[in-house]
Structure formats: C-alpha cells, structure tokens
Structure 1
Amino acid sequence: MRAIPDSLDAVVVAEIDRRLESVATEHGVRIPWAIESGSRAWGFPSPDSDYDCRFLFVGPRERYLTLWPMRDVIETPLDEVFDVNGWDLPKALTLMARGNATPIEWLRSPIVYGGDTAFRDELLAYAAAVVERGAMARHYLHVARRQQAGAQTLKRFFYVLRPAAALRWLADHPDDALPPMDLPTLLAETTASKEIRDAAADLIALKSVTRELGSGEPPAVLRRFAARELERAEAFESAAPGKDPDEVRARADEVFRRIVG
C-alpha cells in the first residue's frame, strides 16, 4: 500500500524512501508500515513543516532470542526537513496495550510511504481488542495539558485542539476507542457545531499559508471548545480498567509470535 498526496515534495519523498531502504538493509529488519505523522498527517501543515516519517519494524526471530536486547528504536539523522525514525514491533504492541495512542495513529495515518495492509489490519484489530477507552482519553488529555503548559502560540494551540477533538470523538462514539488521526476528520465525525468546524477550517487555512503563526489568540469558539472537552475528560483520570491484564498480555504475545514467526 502507498498513499502519497501530490502536496508532498517528490524529492523529499524519494529521500524518505531511500532512508527506509537503508534502515532495512543496515539493521537487517523489514518495515511493514511507514507513514507520515506530525502536522501533515494531522491535517494542519504549514508551508515550512518538516517531514515526520514514522515506521514500525520487525526483526528476524534471532533479534528477540538474546540476553542482550537491541534498541527498540531506529533513528536516522535529524535536520530541518527530515525526522525519520521508527519503533520495533514489541514496543508498539506494549504501548498500545497501555493506551498510548501514538502507534495506533501511525496505523491510521492518511499518508503512507509503504505498508502491508494485512499487517496494519492485524494490529488495528489487536488495538481494538485491548485498548481501554479510559487510557486513550487520558493519553489525549495529558498531551493537551502538556501543550498548555508551554508558551501559548497559535501554532501550539493546534496541539491542544486536536486532542480535544479526539476526546470529543470518544465521547460521541461510546463503543469505540480508536479515534481518527487528523483534525478535520475528528471534527467531522463528532457532534461539534458547524461554528466550531468552520472556525477550525479557517485556522487550518491560515496555517497552510503562514510560516509562523505567532502568539495571536485562537478564535474564542475554539478556546471554549477545547477547555470544555479537557475539563469533561478529567473524569477519565479515575476510570477503572475494564480489561483483564492477563488476557491483554496473552493477546499481545499471540500477535507478536504470529508476526515474527
């Protein structure tokens, strides 16, 4: 599977492809899933946004049969354009079991450099089976709160707004724990008002043509929306787990062994 929009720089995409091939060769791993994360995949890029390629990798069985485990992260040189790194399969599986939304978002990215859909679907099915809604809500709540603790800019506000939209999505989909990745889809699939959706679309349009949004105030309707959703999500801080941890670990082991084997 490959899904690359025309808006991506072809030269940059070619370099990302080269880096992924180099990682697979140099580290002796396969990369069944490589996607774009960050603002481009979240639906609010700037003209100068860098490229945040993320990938999941799987090593040969021998990689996991040693007393001296290798690093579970592979990184390539970071610069102003490229941010390309990935996680080993066990890291992704254990983080999903703990309610970390990041690897789940990678599996749902709309921008795919290369991917095995069977691999993706198996991991999404695993996530749907083991993820606690309360843990996912806490993940997004904590992401937003960390962003609020820093210097407040319009650019940073997007990193509060998207988690707030994810929290609203969870509230509107009580039988699902896996929200979409990008902000426009999140809002479109919730009961957020047209005023909120239109204000978000206008702010996204502004960001798409502005290299530095500066420290201006975000629209009041979006500030109120984010504040309301974060306040409501505080209730998840005390939510008790509903999954049997032994069953979760057994499911993780089963998926891991099947993919590696």
Structure 2
Amino acid sequence: MALRAIPDSMDPTVVRSIDDELARIERDYRVSVRLAIESGSRAWGFPSPDSDYDCRFVYVASLDSYLTPWRERDVIETPLVGLLDVNGWDLTKALRLLVNGNAVLIEWLMSPIVYRGDANFRQDLRDLANRVADRNKVARHYLHLGVKQWELAEHHRSLKKVFYSLRPAMALRWLREHPDAAVAPMHLPTLLEQCELPGDLVASVAELTELKSRTREMGGGEPPRPIATFITAEFASAVDAFPKTPDRDMDQVKALTAEFFRGEAMTVGAAG
C-alpha cells in the first residue's frame, strides 16, 4: 500500500518539486526510494513561516551495486535550492546507524509527513527498530543533541533554538514514561499528549509554538521559566535514567538486521 500524507499547510508547488526530484533521483541513480518523509520543523510540529522543506529518504540500490567490492557512496545529496533540501541514505547506512543507537532513522520512520513510501516497508522497519534499537543509546543520542542545543540557545539567547533542545528533552521524558519502548514519536505535540506534564509547561509550549508559527524571527530573550526548568531537569534525569551500558551481544541484532536488508535488496533487485 502506498503512503502519502501531506498537510494542506504545505505549499503544493514545493511539494510537486519534491515529487519531481524524487522521481529524478530514482531514474538517474537507478535506486528505489522506499520511504520519503519530511524531517524538519514542519514534521516536528513547530514550523515558522519561512521554514525549509527538509525531505529525507531511504533507498535501496540495484542488487548488482551490492555485489561489488567497489561500492558507490551510501548517500544521495542534492543541492539546496531555495527552501528545498532533499537528501537520502542507502538502506545499508540507515541500518548500521540504527543498530549503533543513532535516532535519525527512527525519527524518519515516525514522521507524520510522508511524500511517498511503502506502508509495509515502513511498518516492517519500525518493527525491526523496536527489536534492535538500544533504547539507552537512543536516549543518549537525544541527551547529547539536546544539551548541545540548549548551550547554543543560552549563549545566543535565542527563543527559536529553545525548540531544538525542548524536543529532545520531551523525547527523553517520553522514553522514561514508556519503559518498554525504544522508538519515541518525533512530533512535539504528540510527545506532549502522551506524557504526564505540568499544566504550566503545556501552556508555555503552546504559546511559544504559536509565536513561532507567525514570526519569521522570534528574537532573543529568556525562555519561559516552565520550559527552562523542564529542559534542565530532563537532561539531569537522563544521565542516570539512561546510563552507558556494556555492548550487547550483537549476533542476533546483526542477524535480524541482515535478514531485513536481504529481503529488501532481493525484492528491489527482482523488480528491477
């Protein structure tokens, strides 16, 4: 079943340009785009009037390209044109990063904005992520990202940058409240809805999100106290809640991941 989920708020001209670029990439690079999503602030739930369109995709190359010692690059990067940014990863790269605790692929799988894709592929890859992702490594990915962004927000006194630390902090809270899950939503409003949070925090986030939605430049200043308190508390809690753990026995993880990859590579190769 084909996937497509584009909100009415997105510029149809830009969306058509993304569709055309994805078709060109498949043709010129001889790959199959298995999932293409929006990964930026539009998908995170706090766009500005001038937010970029950040299309990211996972692709599978021809079978022959995997059966050579001289592999091509495992990324496809296109030039930034205006607000349009389109880049993607080979499935091999995406799976290696997933196993190593990188949360980027997980976020792509959870994006509420989908340009194109196969529903079975996304669901199967979500299921694999839940089985092989190390939740402590994923959480520490969010912790490292969030702390870095929080330092930048404080240094530049940037209200816009507050969002880039708030979302990792909310992901950490969600993971703490859902101890059996390794994959958190990427959409900030969904994270808020699925966590037990103080009312003043929810209200402050709503006010700041509304300001960002209508203002190109939010300017500087101190972040609302409930948000600042929440961010610093979540980062402090995460250090103990998600400790560095010894490496797992990777045999089963690699076997499951390799099985998934082979299935996709053979399917695309047979179709080609």
TM-score (norm 1): 0.97
Question: How much has 1:187 moved relative to structure 2?
Answer: 1.2
After TM superposition, the structure 1 stretch with the greater mean CA deviation from structure 2, 232-241 or 73-82, is: 232-241
**Equivalent position of 2:269 in the other structure:** none
Equivalent in the alignment of 1:26 = 28
Is 2:171 aligned against 1:171?
A: no
* Counterpart selection for 1:56 from 48, 53, 58: 58
Q: Which amino acid aligns with 2:124?
A: E
Unaligned runs of 5+ in 2: 267-272
Q: 2:35–2:118: 8 Å Cα contact kept in structure 1?
A: yes
| 2:215 aligned residue (195, 204, 210) | 210
Match of 1:191 in 2: 196
Paired residue for 2:229? Answer: 224
Opposite residue 95 of structure 2, the aligned amino acid is L
- For residues 48-127 of structure 1, the aligned pairs below 5 Å read 48-127=50-129
8 A contact 1:33–1:115 mirrored in 2: yes
> How many pairs does the alignment contain?
261
Q: Which amino acid aligns with 2:61?
A: G
State how far apart, in whole Å, the 1-side matches of 2:228 and 2:151 are. 15
Q: Percent identity?
A: 51
Q: Secondary structure at the match of 2:38?
A: strand
- 1:130-176 alpha-carbon deviations (Å, 9 max, x no partner): 11111111010011112123234111110000000000001100111
Deviating more after overlay: 204-213 vs 193-202: 193-202
The alpha-carbon deviation at position 95 of structure 1 amounts to 0.8
Q: Is residue 58–residue 88 contact of structure 1 (8 Å, CA) maintained in 2?
A: yes
**TM-superposed deviation, 1:239:** 3.2
> After the TM superposition, which parts of structure 1 deviate over 4 Å for at least 4 consecutive aligned residues?
none
- Structure 2 distance, partners of 1:198, 1:93, is 38
**Superposed displacement of residue 245, structure 1:** 1.0
2:90 corresponds to which letter in structure 1?
D
Amino acid corresponding to residue 64 of structure 2 in structure 1 = E
Aligned to 1:235: 240
**Kept in 1: contact 2:149–2:164 (CA 8 A):** yes
Q: Residue 238 of structure 1 aligns to a residue in which SS?
A: coil
- C-alpha RMSD of the superposition: 1.2
Q: Which letter maps to 1:165?
A: M
For residues 42 and 106 of structure 1, the distance between their equivalents in structure 2, rounded to whole angstroms, comes to 11
Q: Using the alignment, how far apart are the partners of 1:122 and 1:24 within structure 2?
A: 22
CA shift for structure 1 position 94: 0.9
Aligned to 2:145: 143
Given that 2:176 and 2:241 are in contact with CA atoms closer than 8 Å, whether structure 1 keeps it comes out as no
Residue by residue, what CA displacement relative to the aligned partner does 1:1-36 show, whole Å, maximum 9, x if unpaired? Answer: 100000000000000000000000000001010011
Distance in structure 1 (CA, Å) of the matches to 2:111 and 2:242: 27
The 3-state SS of whatever aligns with 1:149 is helix
C-alpha contact (below 8 Å) 2:32/2:60 kept by paired residues: yes
Cα distance change on mapping 1:80 and 1:217 into 2, 3 Å: farther
Contact between 1:134 and 1:241, CA under 8 Å: does it hold in 2? no
Distance 1:241 1:124 in 2: 24
Q: 2:151, 2:233 → 1: CA distance? A: 17
Q: Distance in 1 between matches of 2:168 and 2:250?
A: 26
Equivalent pair of 1:132/1:241 in contact (CA under 8 Å): no
Which among 155, 180, 192 is matched to residue 160 of structure 2? Answer: 155
